[in-house]
Amino acid sequence: MTDLPERFLALPNTLSASPILAIGLTLGAFFAGNWLFRRMGRPLWLPPVVLSAFLLSATIALLSLDYTRYQQGAQWLMLLLGPATVALGIPLYQQMHHVRALWRPILCTLPVAATLAAVYAVVIAWALGATPLVLASLAPKSVTAPIAIGITEQLGGSVPLMMGGLLVTGVVATLFVDLLSRVLSITDDRILGFALGLNGHAVGTARAFEISRTAGAFASLGMGLTGVFTALILPLAFRLW
């Protein structure tokens, strides 16, 4: 009878032998993070994904679960990222009529801005002495997560560091677009949306949908086009470098 408490305390580690614990924890943190985000009045600087990630890390640490073991279980969820990336092609197709209406500004801005988004970060980090691993992880910082994971793997960067950088970029880009559009007195929802999606991927797109549906559509378009453009250009650029 005396080993009953021991068996109870060992539960987290015995249960984590199966991927179902990792999946359950991730799902729980996902919903808890979304709930907390609504309760906090939808703060601009703290998107639900950051809240969920904090909750999930705290839970893993509290249960003293082995992180690599969690990661192995969570692989089952990450498997769906491939098909989910393909799924992004459907809204991209649905936004295509916007390209037809404004194709000149969009096609001129996209390559310049998407290149700058990657180049500035890499050059600044390189000048401050970052290692090649860090540079490869920062390069896709303005690309939506499922595409960025693929890019980082191709470049040989660290996926966790890239994810951290991605979130910071999303939040910071949202704040900068809000601030700069006021300073430059730009009020066109199409421009704001495109800038939010291009620089701030999914975090910026979520903000754009709060501004208006048009802003949201242009943000999705900016996010999708930046993702495709960067995914095609970065691996080639890194190979030549």
Q: What is the CA radius of gyration of the chain?
A: 20
- By the 8 A CB rule, do 152 and 137 touch? yes
> Judged by CB under 8 A, which of 20, 44, 80, 132 binds other proteins?
80
Return the residue matching tokens 């809000």: 178
Is the Cβ of residue 11 or residue 175 nearer to other proteins in the bound state?
A: 175
CB of 10 to other proteins, least distance (A): 21
Rounded CA separation 194/222 (Å): 5
Q: Is 63 or 176 the residue whose CB approaches other proteins more closely? A: 176
Residue type, 134: V
By the 8 A CB rule, do 19 and 73 touch?
yes
Site string for other proteins, 171-210 (x = CB under 8 A): -xx--xx--xx--x-x-x-xx--xx--xx--x--------
Contact 56, 106 (CB under 8 A): no
Q: Least distance to other proteins from the beta carbon of 14, Å?
A: 21
For residue 108, give the DSSP letter.
H
Nearer to other proteins, 4 or 112 (CB): 112
Cβ distance 196 to 177 under 8 Å? yes
> Counting contacts by CB under 8 A, is residue 165 touching other proteins?
yes
Nearer to other proteins, 2 or 68 (CB): 68
From 6-14, 38-46, 163-171, 208-216, span contacting other proteins (CB under 8 A): 163-171
Among 21, 138, 211, 215, binds other proteins (CB under 8 A): 138
C-alpha dist (Å) from residue 107 to 17, 50, 51, 110, 111: 50, 32, 35, 5, 7
- Toward other proteins, which CB reaches closer, 3 or 158? 158
Residues 19-78 that bind other proteins (CB under 8 A): 22, 26-27, 29-30, 48-50, 52-53, 56-57, 60, 67, 70-71, 74-75, 77-78
- Binding-site size for other proteins (CB under 8 A) equals 99
Give the H or E element holding residue 135.
helix 132-138
